Amino acid sequence: MAYPYELGFQDATSPIMEELLQFHDHTLMIVFLISTLVLYLISLMLTTKLTHTSTMDAQEVETIWTILPAIILIMIALPSLRILYMMDEVNNPLLTVKTMSHQWYWSYEYTDYDELNFDSYMIPTTELKPGELRLLEVDNRVVLPMELPVRVLISSEDVLHSWAVPSLGLKTDAIPGRLNQTILTSTRPGLFYGQCSEICGSNHSFMPIVIEMVPLKTFENWCTSML
């Protein structure tokens, strides 16, 4: 999860988030190189007295500053499209969880199990135990198996919401009358926090999401205890 004064992204927990972090670094390096080159040219023009009369109307220069930006855009677009297709691909999920948003809580249903569903409300500040996080803890966590593809179906029963977990690279809108889907896979166990990221009313800030990733055996025991 995020920590105070953090300037970067949260640590990646899923393969998709790792790809997003690499793409961010790749794009940031391109921006850094372009900014350095432009700053160097500006400082050069302001400090030197030497001028070339044929620079501004030379065919070669015009060709370079037309083709070079196109190449840079291609270098950004290709990995971006690759990640977009990876995020949209849902291949053979081993578990499906249906998420319904309300004002202002989440409802979860494990569709592969009978009668395994619950509501998830934020724990009020006055009821927090020592070590628990304000505005992020819930009374019922979403327990999922790690290292397995899990499909999440997301919709809403009232207004627009957005189901977002940054460390997993997830952000999917919950729209009334429409069923969106996303896929998640965690490479390690742990607790992963998120929040509704679509302004949905007066208590928008009080819709946290807590996903608990556990080994498959622990997940099976939890399902047995919930049924």
- pLDDT, residue 140, reads 92
CA distance 86 to 142: 24
Question: Please, what is the Cα angle at 165 between 161 and 166, to 5 degrees?
Answer: 120
For residue 52, is pLDDT > 70? no
Average pLDDT, the chain: 89
d(Cα 211, Cα 164) in Å, to the nearest integer?
Answer: 11
Provide the greatest CA pair distance for the chain. 82
| CATH placement of domain 95-226 | 2.60.40.420
Peptide bond into 106 cis (omega under 30): no
Q: How many CB atoms lie within 10 A of CB 32?
A: 10
Tokens of 155: 């919709």
Asked if residue 55 has pLDDT above 80, the reply is: no
* Crossing angle of helices 15-47 and 59-88, rounded to 10°: 160
Strand partners of residue 145: 214
| Domain range list for the chain | 15-88, 95-226
98-138 pLDDT, tens digit per residue, is 999 998 899 999 998 888 999 999 999 999 989 889 999 99
As a whole number of angstroms, the distance between CA 28 and CA 20 comes to: 12
Rounded Cα–Cα distance for residues 68 and 81 (Å): 20
Evaluate whether 15-88 and 95-226 have a shared fold.
no
CATH for 15-88 is 1.10.287.90
Provide DSSP, the chain.
Answer: ---TT--SPPPP-SHHHHHHHHHHHHHHHHHHHHHHHHHHHHHHHHH-----TTSTT-HHHHHHHHHHHHHHHHHHHHHHHHHHHHHH-----SEEEEEEEETTEEEEEETTSTT-EEEE-BPPGGGPPTTPPTTT-BSS-EEEETTS-EEEEEEESSS-EEEEEGGGTEEEEE-BT--EEEEE--SS-EEEEEEE-S--STTGGG-EEEEEEE-HHHHHHHHHHH-
User: Taking the model in full, what pTM does it have?
Assistant: 0.84
Q: What is the pLDDT of residues 136-195, one digit of tens each?
A: 999 999 999 999 999 999 999 989 999 999 999 999 999 999 999 999 999 999 999 999
